[in-house]
Amino acid sequence: MRLGVTIDYSDDFSVAAAETVEFERVGAEVVAVSEAYSFDAVSRLGYLAAVTSTITLTSTILPIYSRTPTLIAMTAAGLDSVSGGRFELGLGSSGAQVIEGFHGVPFTAPLGHLRETVEICRSVWRRERVEHVGKNYRIPLPADEGTGLGKPLKIINEPVRPSIPISLAALTPRAVAQAAEIADGWLPIFYHPDHARAAWGDALDAGLAKRDPALGALDTIVSIPLYIGEHGDRMLDAYRQRIALYVGGMGARGANFYNDLAVRYGYADEAARVQELYLAGEKAAAAEAVPDDLVRATALIGTESQVAERLAAFDSAGVTTILAQPLAQTAAARIESIEALRALAPRP
């Protein structure tokens, strides 16, 4: 199991960058930089490439609708170059609220856009002349839609690697099946190790049955809040509010992927209640309605023995990378928590 840290898009980056250097020193293997309608992740990853030397850098996630597939490929190759081959590309579709509300781009056919983006990226990194005819992207643009001057091109630079690992954020069964089929890694959210099989097992099996063996094993990458110590109730309460936001407020009734996930976990009545309260503006009550098991099982918050127990559960469920978001109040305590996590992690 790889252990790493997540830099949230709302973090003070100057603080987070300095801490990343220390996380690397105490053994963190991955640092993930997230992006929403925020400062972009790419500039931050480039900076981290310059101040670190061994830690793997990854995006969690770059939304595909705000960048062309070839720009995503160029960006990944550039980050891989400046980091000396330490970059992994995390991609996702984001959602209509961000893509249409912030970027002004139609949110359509997310699975098709993701599949074609992966295909185009891999073609670029192999330094092939990009020729792609799909339902969502056509490269070069045909003459009847452009000037007629476009021609197939290949990237000018020589990428450090002809294949950069790609991970896909996926929640719905169809999206998870696609990630298991075509990606190097899978990025779920609110991963419940005890109920993951019920939520995603059939989808993973279907995707893995189509998977090219050359891709190797699927890396299951779980982002999770971390706090090791006594009196973690305050941290659990804050995390409970975040779950309520997603399960209750991310999307409308009948169009909330996070609510659907809670249902597949077996919390159908609770998920309906959380959404009802949240959409009615009763956010505190919605948080109180989030099942305690869902909060505790999807977090690494508690004493050393409790965190060790949860880590073992993630390991048994097949999680291969943990991206922790340390919640301690001071830099020294956050660094100590990553060091402690390393000591507690299951070893082969």
**Domain ranges in the chain?**
2-227+300-344, 230-299
Instruction: Kindly report whether the peptide bond that precedes residue 142 is cis, defined as omega within 30 degrees of 0.
Output: no
pLDDT in tens, the chain (348 residues): 999 999 999 889 999 999 999 999 999 999 999 999 999 999 999 999 999 999 999 999 999 999 999 999 999 999 999 999 999 999 999 988 899 999 999 999 999 999 999 999 999 999 999 999 999 999 999 988 999 899 999 999 999 999 999 999 999 999 999 999 999 999 999 999 999 999 999 999 999 999 999 999 999 999 999 999 988 999 999 999 999 999 999 878 888 999 999 999 999 999 999 999 999 999 999 999 999 999 999 999 999 999 999 999 999 999 999 999 999 999 999 999 999 999 998 776
Which residues, including other chains, have CB under 8 Å from residue 172's CB and lie 6 or more apart? Answer: 257, 260
Q: Radius of gyration of the chain from Cα atoms?
A: 20
In angstroms, the CA 283 to CA 298 distance is 20
What residue spans of the chain are helical by DSSP H?
13-25, 41-51, 69-82, 96-99, 110-125, 173-182, 196-209, 233-244, 257-264, 268-279, 283-289, 292-297, 304-316, 331-344
The three-class DSSP label of residue 334 is helix
Phi and psi of 267, rounded to 5°? -110, 50
Report the alpha-carbon angle 136-138-144, nearest 5.
115
Fold of 2-227+300-344: TIM Barrel (3.20.20)
Q: Rounded to 5, what percent of the chain is helix, strand, coil?
A: 45, 15, 40
DSSP structural state of residue 165: -
